[in-house]
Chain A
Amino acid sequence: MNSSALPTASRPGFLARRRRAYYFFAVPALVVVGAVIIFPWLFTVWMSAFDWRIGSVAHFVGLENYVKLATNKRFLESIVHTFYFTLLAVIFPLILGTAAALIFHREFPLRGVLRGIFTMPMMATPVAIALVWTMMFHPQQGVLNYLLSLVGLPPSLWVYSQSLVIPSLVLVEVWHWTPLVMLIVLGGLAALPTEPYESAKLDGATEWQLFRYITLPLLAPFLIVAAVIRTIDALKAFDTIYVISQGGPGTASETINLYLYLQAFAFYNVGNASAVVVVFFVIILALALVLLHVREKTKWV
């Protein structure tokens, strides 16, 4: 740009030209995103139409991989496991995170430090934490069974039991991610108006009524954001499940992601795994959209 052509907003085309210049700033990032994110998306959809194991020749099979999945008992069970895990891993962090946020919203000594400690789990490396939980779950030497015995409860098999493995894994997930819900809700609490409370208190409302009829409805948008994020993350949970139970015992905790991992990197069944990815993504997208739709509705409550 030379100085004789001083840029002013009145010059037609100047803004458009500047806008185009700004787009150039995004080009390197778009190249990278195209290579490592968009290309894999397209490649996955493409590969899902082939019967292909790494090391052998690919055959085009159209929608056959999807048709097979629809009747694959193990895959369908993995969907059920995923939903069960997700339901628990959304509800408990939401309840506990909201309770924690109500606590941390108040002033008390050492609040900053304690909040810092409370939020540490969500940044801790999942694999490292999963190892520690594996030792804590140990039926004979584990510290959890010792704690149960202290309060007079019988020992549990935890992740070694078909029926308890998913709730046990949820326990780890709750430990990890309740702080995230807390932080989102805490942000919501900080943004609450004070007037409704003042007038309700004048009318003699109890603490519980204040929470139930003022705080909760005003927090709804934040709770739904938290629910969307928890849902996406719980559906995608992998590290802790893989390290602690490997989908077992048997296939009792085999979620979609675990099934996907086996298909792709134990059996190198790329075609089938790609079809799983596509179905998996559609499930995630659908659930996220449903929750966002709920959010649109709650705006008017």
Chain B
Amino acid sequence: MASGRRDFLNWFLGSAFGTLVLWILYPVTRFLGTPSVPESTAVQVEAGATNDQAFQKTGFKIVRFGEDPVIVLRVNEGDFRAFSATCTHLDCIVEYQRDKARIWCNCHNGMYDLSGQVVSGPPPRPLQPYKVDLVARGSGQPRMVVVSKA
């Protein structure tokens, strides 16, 4: 009889302690996990005029599209292209090598062509393309480079 009571108490206290641990662990685990924040609702951004200093000097510009970096390339006077600037390998920000006509990731030497396709190095996927429109702003004014989701 005494043994039965002891077993019951052991079981009861053990379960109570286990429940207590779960009570503590559950909110702590949920707290450490990261709450989901709604993605940016940006649909288009202006990357600057076609004669923007950055385009003239380096041939590219990185603009903020919501929370994401987007690289806008000036391939020639009327040909502008845009891709996600985040390398598909390990998340570094890419840049444009105008002399080699390549998009390059400095971190692990990943190389993409001007269509965003992987040419060499470790990136597993092409860069995500964005749509580019050159919008006229009035006579004598350079056109505006407008980037939107493809």
Are A and B genuine complex partners?
no
